């Protein structure tokens, strides 16, 4: 089994702060740049699992970089460079305190709410008589608050966001427009590869009065994909859809009796399952990007990552 990179502890010139997210380690350089290292950590049910997934960070970072490049005509984004397969460096923006969730299908948490009788998500009405994994007439926006570390994101309506002043009405309208256009582009790219972009999230920030797309986009950690082939047949039979996302990790944890609830003990993932997870991430990369995944040398990941970041920063 290849080594995984789950921790970083660097000290770069002009470093102002460090933030450790569930998956990403983010270094603030002089309040101007952000160095984002995508680790091999994996989270589910708002908990970080104790073992890393080899090549996961490389997969996520390279998918996000390609999609940021492919959507830069829709909205400016924070990315400046990817000096290492696991690293993106870009503009430091002031993030908006909401995440824009776009859903094209009734699945995941939206289906669970619907099955329990809810006919409204974040103020958006959902018609009666829908089935799990059914496509909405048009994609819907179901925003959430941007939670602090260790807390849960909370559903919030468009009206609440504007009335409480989390985001001004004019800016929120712009965020909505950008989100739906990005989802449309992502849907088109996925369709060309035989995939359905089911749902995803976008995060935005502001720099010098301009809105930027920030963080990752259209990765298996932030998005859910179905295979187009067989979708209608499985839907007609009421079968589960074949999907590429980290949902299968949640499903495995659920079978092991863990859903992040108080008192539950997180199971240890066997090496065989860890390899399956790694293979699934690589599979999604190769399908959605349409290229063979090239595994970067992981014999000393930390040293390689630090060296490549420092070389970039010295040129700036």
Check residue 292 and give its pLDDT.
97
Instruction: Give the alpha-carbon dihedral of 248, 253, 256, 261, to 10 degrees.
Output: -150
Mean predicted confidence (pLDDT) in 145-170: 84
109 vs 197, more confident:
197
* Domain boundaries along the sequence of the chain: 15-93+246-315, 95-244
Residue 16 is predicted with a pLDDT of 97
Res 250: pLDDT: 86
Helices (H), 131-227: 158-163, 169-192
Tell me the mean pLDDT in the region 164-190.
97
Neighbour-count burial for 153-181, b at 16+ CB within 10 Å, e otherwise: eebbebeebbeeebbeeeebeebeebbbe
228 pLDDT exceeds 90? yes
Q: How confident is the model at residue 148 (pLDDT cuts 50, 70, 90)?
A: low
268-298: pLDDT as tens digits: 999 999 999 999 899 989 999 999 999 998 8
Most confident of 52-56, 218-222, 240-244: 52-56
- Distance between CA 99 and CA 143 in Å, rounded? 6
- How much of the chain, in percent, has pLDDT values that exceed 70? 97
Residue with tokens 């708002």: 46
Residue 2 binned pLDDT confidence (cut-offs 50, 70, 90): low
> Nearest to residue 3, comparing CAs of 302, 280, 215?
302
Topology (CATH level 3) of domain 15-93+246-315: Phosphorylase Kinase; domain 1 (3.30.200)
Q: Which CATH class is domain 95-244?
A: alpha beta
Element (H, E) at 236: helix 231-237
Tens-digit pLDDT profile for residues 300-313: 899 999 999 999 99
Q: Give the best-scoring range by mean pLDDT among 51-55, 121-125, 132-136.
A: 132-136
Q: What is the mean pLDDT of the chain?
A: 93
How far is residue 29's CA from residue 308's CA, in Å, rounded to a whole number?
15
Contact 242, 195 (CB under 8 A): no
For residue 130, the model assigns a pLDDT of 96
Residue 298 has which token pair?
A: 């992981």
Segment 146-171 shows an average pLDDT of: 84
Nearest to 143 by CA among 88, 100, 189: 100
Please tell me the distance from the alpha carbon of residue 25 to that of residue 170, in angstroms, as a whole number.
Answer: 32
> What's the CA angle centered on 88, arms 84 and 92, to 5 degrees?
150
Selection from 308, 298, 272 nearest residue 57 by Cα: 298
Residue 163, both tokens: 């009335």
Q: pLDDT tens-digit profile of 27-86?
A: 999 999 999 999 999 988 888 998 899 999 999 999 999 999 999 999 999 999 999 999
Average pLDDT over residues 195-209: 96
CA-wise closest residue to 131 among 234, 48, 223: 234
């Amino acid at each position: 089994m290849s080594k995984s990179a789950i921790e970083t502890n660097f000290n770069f010139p002009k470093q102002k702060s460090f933030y450790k997210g569930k998956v990403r380690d983010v270094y603030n350089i002089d309040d101007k740049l952000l160095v984002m290292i995508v680790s091999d950590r994996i989270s589910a049910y708002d908990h970080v699992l104790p073992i890393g997934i080899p090549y996961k960070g490389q997969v996520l970072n390279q998918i996000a970089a390609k999609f940021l490049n492919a959507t830069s005509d829709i909205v400016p984004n924070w990315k400046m460079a990817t000096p290492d397969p696991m690293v993106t460096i870009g503009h430091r923006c002031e993030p908006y305190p909401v995440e824009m969730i776009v859903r094209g299908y009734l699945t995941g948490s939206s289906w669970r709410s619907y099955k329990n009788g809810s006919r409204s998500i974040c103020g958006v009405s959902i018609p009666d008589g829908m089935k799990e994994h059914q496509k909405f007439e048009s994609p819907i926006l179901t925003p959430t608050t941007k939670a602090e570390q260790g807390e849960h994101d909370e559903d919030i309506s468009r009206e609440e966001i504007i009335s409480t002043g989390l985001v001004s009405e004019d800016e929120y309208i712009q965020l909505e427009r950008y989100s739906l256009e990005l989802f449309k582009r992502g849907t088109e790219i996925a369709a060309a590869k035989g995939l359905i972009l089911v749902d995803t999230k976008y995060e935005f920030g502001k720099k010098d009065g301009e809105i930027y797309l920030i963080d990752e986009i259209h990765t298996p950690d932030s998005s859910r994909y179905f295979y187009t082939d067989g979708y209608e047949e499985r839907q007609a039979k009421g079968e589960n859809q074949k999907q590429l996302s980290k949902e299968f990790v949640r499903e495995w944890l659920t079978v092991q009796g863990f859903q992040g609830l108080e008192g539950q003990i997180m199971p240890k993932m066997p090496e065989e399952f860890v390899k399956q997870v790694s293979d699934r991430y690589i599979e999604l990369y190769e399908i959605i990007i349409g290229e063979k995944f090239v595994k970067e040398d992981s014999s000393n990941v930390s040293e390689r990552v630090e060296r490549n970041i420092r070389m970039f920063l010295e040129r700036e």
